[in-house]
Structure 1
Amino acid sequence: MSGDDRGAVSVLVAILAPALLLLVGLVVDAGGMVRALQRAENVAAQAARTAGQAIDLPAAIGGGIKRIDPAAATQAASAYLSRAGATGTVAVADDLQSVTVTATITYRPTLLAAFGYRTRTLTGQSTARLINTN
């Protein structure tokens, strides 16, 4: 055997290992970010549905048009966001017929942090509308 090939594999591994690690990090952390974005959208949707159930009961029971109670809706959505580990905003429309919730979730990369990839803030938004059948 000739000694000419000694160390050739080591150089190849030294060159390819960081590139492969970066590629695996991209796959893992990009998937994690997609899941975090989906979670933010799902949390916003559920918080909006929760807020949409906070209606003005005296008006609804009296047979009037159903309207969202802004204070109760904001409290319900904020509580849901808090329980879900998210932050966000709640906005009740002027006509009191819809509520929009924006949920914000933080994603911390697992592998790409070694390459300087920082924490990302992801936002989801959803609107719930009342349906009046009167």
Structure 2
Amino acid sequence: MRPPTTVPVAAASPAPALPWTARLRRRRGRLRADDRGMITPWTVVGTLMVILLAGLVLDAGMAMADQVRLYDRAQAAARAGAREIDLATYRNTGVVQLDPDAAVGAAQRFLARSGTTGTATATTAAVTVTVTGVRRTQLLYLIGVTTIPLDATAAATAATGVTNAT
């Protein structure tokens, strides 16, 4: 029997080594051509941005509405205090001035009846009321903003009759 014949095969020559810059360019070209799944990060980031923007608009709008309500209450409390005229001074001199203690008391009573937290100060010329409040957020709590502090200040003076009428 004859031994099997073998045909000599030439050894495969190794591919010439490319410089590292050429390999990097080739790899970068392949990565640039493969864009599967690229929409996912953009969708996630875009959705989060829309939710945050909606939260900012919603919570800021509600905080502004609460701010207006607080200012209205501060004005009303200041007007309530400005009605407390020092009658003895008015009767003796005709000068309209406030009784500071009575003005502060009237403003504080108004705030208590309206369920508002605040402070009142008065001089013989004016009553100043500062009210404070907190707005709990609806969507901004998702990024850690749970409340928005609010405050409003209003002042009122005592006046009688019609002044500067034309």
Partner residue in 2 for 1:99: 127
- Tell me the secondary structure at the aligned position of residue 153 of structure 2: strand
Give the C-alpha shift of residue 27 in structure 1: 0.5
Identity of aligned pairs, percent?
34
Q: Check conservation: 2:85, 2:158, Cα contact below 8 A.
A: no
The aligned length equals 128
Partner residue in 1 for 2:69: 39
Which residue of 64, 70, 81 corresponds with 2:111? 81
Q: Output one character per residue of 1:1-48: Cα deviation in whole Å (capped at 9) or x when no partner.
A: xxxxx9777655433222111111010011112112212221111110
Partner residue in 2 for 1:116: 144
Which residue of 90, 96, 99 corresponds with 1:69? 99
Gaps of 5+ in 1: 1-5
Higher relative contact order structure (alpha carbons within 8 Å, sequence separation ≥ 6): 1
Q: Check conservation: 2:98, 2:125, Cα contact below 8 A.
A: yes
Partner residue in 1 for 2:164: none
Partner residue in 1 for 2:55: 25
Q: Which deviates further from its counterpart, 41-50 or 67-76?
A: 67-76
Distance (whole Å) between structure 2 residues aligned to residue 58 and residue 87 of structure 1: 32
Counterpart AA for 2:132: T
Distance (whole Å) between structure 2 residues aligned to residue 91 and residue 71 of structure 1: 9
Partner residue in 2 for 1:48: 78
- Tell me the secondary structure at the aligned position of residue 123 of structure 1: strand
Counterpart AA for 1:47: A
Distance 1:63 1:45, change over 3 A: same
Q: Check conservation: 1:29, 1:110, Cα contact below 8 A.
A: yes
| RMSD of aligned alpha carbons | 2.6
Report the TM-score when normalising by structure 1: 0.78
2:153 is equivalent to residue 125 of structure 1: yes
Counterpart AA for 1:112: L
Q: Output one character per residue of 1:111-132: Cα deviation in whole Å (capped at 9) or x when no partner.
A: 1112101312211111111125
